[in-house]
Amino acid sequence: MKLEGQVAIVTGASRGLGRAVAIAYGKEGAKVVVTYRASSPTGLLGTAEETCKTIQNGGGEAVAISCDSTDDLQVRDMTNQVIKRFGKVDYLVNNAGIMIPGEPFLDIDPVRWDNLMATNITGSYLACRHVLPHMIEKGQGHVINIGSGAAINHRAGGSAYCSSKAALHLMSLCLAEEMEEHNIRINVLDPGPLKSEGSSVIPWTKHDWHLRLAPEEAAPSVVGLALQTFTGRVLTTEEYGKTWGQEN
């Protein structure tokens, strides 16, 4: 198994891509920490306990920890729980994210704007802030931030989401330079258009739904990225096995 003995935190792993990635990591032998928001603002179905049960039924080890990724104290406490239980963190997959689908800029009130930014960029900042010191102490680690083509492809109705993903991409690239001396890799993966619960309510997905990947189809690329030795890259699932990850 490719990740045997490794410890991975996957945020937002109750459903969608996060769930698929957590299960894929578990199948490869990683001890998986499934984080979730106790009261999800999306109201979508799926639980972290179900994700853990799937991993455990397959012979893997997983634990679910309730953690609001936008709350500094909760992220700190989650990280401390992981270190106390496993003694290290090898991989951090910042997957938690939300969308404001297709709404005009002037229709987005400040509360929802702030909530999206807090989830999509501040959440990753907080997770990195608390996990990276432990990686530095061990002299190794890999942070994978789940990005999006929205970071470089603007469209009407995408002002909030596109801005948040652009910020995530650039934060990741800056952080990669800072962490390289510590043997810690920071990369971004754009999984491409997915058939997820969240994307199903976006108006412009109706025309290409049949072309989108199921989360389970994108998850192998997140496993593949974990095994790479480079840092400071923005990659796509579409190019996995073609321009990168061929050796895996």
The DSSP line for 107-145 is GS-HHHHHHHHIIIIIHHHHHHHHHHHHHHHHT-EEEEE
What burial class does residue 89 get, using C-beta atoms within 10 Å of its C-beta: 0-12 exposed, 13-18 middle, 19+ buried?
A: buried
Question: How far is the C-alpha of 32 from the C-alpha of 10, rounded, in Å?
Answer: 7
Question: CB of 198 within 8 A of CB of 99?
Answer: yes
- Please give the single-letter amino acid code of residue 101: P
CA distance 189 to 221: 8
Active site residues: 161
